[in-house]
Amino acid sequence: MNPASFAAIAASLAGYDPQALRVELAQQFIAELLPLPQQSETVGLRAALGRVLAADIISPLQVPAHDNSAMDGYALRASDLAIDGETRLRLAGTSLAGGAVSGSVANGQCQRIMTGALMPAGLDTVVPQEFTRLDGEYVVIPPGILRTGDNRRLAGEDLALGSVALAAGRVLRPADLGLLASLGLAEVPVWRRLKVAIMSTGDELRGVGEPLPPGCVYDSNRYTMWAMLERLGLEVIDLGIVRDQPEALREALMRAAALADAVISSGGVSVGEADHTKRVMAELGEVLFWRIAMRPGRPMAIGRIRSGEKTALLFGLPGNPVAVMVTFYAFVREALLRMSGARPEPLPLLRAASTRALRKKAGRTEYQRGVVKRGAGGQWQVDITGNQGSGILSSMSQANGLVLLGHQQGDVAVGDLVDVVPFDGLI
């Protein structure tokens, strides 16, 4: 692969301004940098949960394999049903789930059948047991309750032989595991798990469990970064806290580039910082320092850094704890999913009424933290979680969604509808 140079990508993006970069342009720029996965492996079904499918799964059989009953009841011919008045059909035998097809059933007869049992040849409809009454050897069916084909499952109605049951790029979820099992597949090809190295930079940082001298803060970013990456199912390489010293930074970044597909650092990329992160990053490869038109999270570095022949994508995130999370979700999440071979769809947004007036300047994208809940009338409403400073991690912890205020959006009045990305989903 011969990747496009940063200058070429920048030139292809209308309105590219590294000092006030629109969120959408930064996302488009990053999308141009992403290598696709090269190595796949075969894993057992359970180990495949959350992994990315490396090839289309072509159905090797039809599911269900044969026509069968969707109900416990009696299989019959719809043509035997009386137009009006009760129908009386003679009971000819029983079909159990897992049993073979029984002998033929004559006109005017029916067969007792269990859910999942094969439909006897010539019979096309099942009447549920609870609608019937037995009268000696006869099953009595009231009029007007059945149409041809009711309660019969057709062979191949779930999956047709030779069809694409699951497409490459799919992140496997519980239903997919079941689907693969229904095809009799014990293993599937998945892309190798992406390796992501993380590090926190800053002389003021201390690790949990250590004493906290005046002027220092505990390193929380490595925990949020680790957790966000774990949730994406990626392999995390934790390179710890790196001091603001050129040698230490160079060594850590080179190690990261050698070990990982992508490197995420926090801190040291803001303007006027007395740290050396920017200079050292720039020495190790092709790196851009952006000021993004967003809040929180203005400064960010993006680059390719090298260690010998190997290149890794670098995301230099800001140091502020909320900014780390917001820039991760705005730029890093989808990039890493694509590098993992996934083809993510845009996340569904909720439209919720703001319970407060929000000040918002047009000309930047804002990600406010909010609590979404149902209002008295059943409509969704969102309440911003207090102080929105980029260091206020409790605002993120209390929230259950990010309120997205787009680039052009101005002030929000009480009751205005805003877009919210919910944190939690069903699956």
As measured in angstroms, the least distance from the Cβ of 222 to ligand AMP is 6
Contact 73, 145 (CB under 8 A): no
187 three-state secondary structure:
strand
Specify the residue, 13 or 217, whose C-beta has the smaller distance to Mg ion.
Answer: 217
Residues 187-216 that bind ligand AMP (CB under 6 A): 200, 202, 204-205
CA quadruple 24, 25, 27, 31: dihedral sign: positive
When asked if residue 220 is in the footprint of ligand AMP (CB under 6 A), the reply is yes
Please give the backbone phi and psi of residue 278, each rounded to the nearest 5 degrees, phi first. -60, -45
Reading the block at residue 380, the tokens are 């969704």
Q: By CB under 5 A, which span of 111-119, 143-151, 232-240, 265-273 interacts with Mg ion? A: 265-273
Count of CA atoms in the C-beta half-sphere (13 A) of 75:
30
Q: Which of 73, 321, 370, 401 binds ligand AMP (CB under 6 A)?
A: 321
Q: Which of 73, 120, 169, 318 binds ligand AMP (CB under 6 A)?
A: 318
Residues 183-242 that bind Mg ion (CB under 5 A): 202
Please give the backbone phi and psi of residue 218, each rounded to the nearest 5 degrees, phi first. -70, 145
Which of 275, 267, 360 minimizes the C-alpha distance to 319?
Answer: 267
Q: By CB under 5 A, which span of 112-120, 144-152, 169-177, 264-272 interacts with Mg ion? A: 264-272
When asked if residue 299 is in the footprint of Mg ion (CB under 5 A), the reply is no
Contact 170, 48 (CB under 8 A): no
As measured in angstroms, the least distance from the Cβ of 427 to ligand AMP is 31
CB neighbour class for 109 (10 Å; exposed up to 12, middle 13-18, buried from 19): buried
User: Quick one: DSSP state of residue 296?
Assistant: S
Q: What does 221 bind: Mg ion, ligand AMP, none (CB cut-off 5 to 8 Å by kind)?
A: ligand AMP
Binding mask 258-297 for ligand AMP (x = CB under 6 A): --------xxx-x--x------------------------
Q: What does 340 bind: Mg ion, ligand AMP, none (CB cut-off 5 to 8 Å by kind)?
A: none
CB neighbour class for 231 (10 Å; exposed up to 12, middle 13-18, buried from 19): exposed
As measured in angstroms, the least distance from the Cβ of 323 to ligand AMP is 8
Residues 406-425 that bind ligand AMP (CB under 6 A): none
Q: Which of 37, 120, 233, 319 binds ligand AMP (CB under 6 A)?
A: 319
140-157: burial string, b at 16+ Cβ within 10 Å, e else: ebeeeebeeebbbbebbe
Which parts of this chain interact with Mg ion (CB under 5 A)?
202, 267-268, 319
Which parts of this chain interact with ligand AMP (CB under 6 A)?
200, 202, 204-205, 217, 219-221, 266-268, 270, 273, 318-321, 391
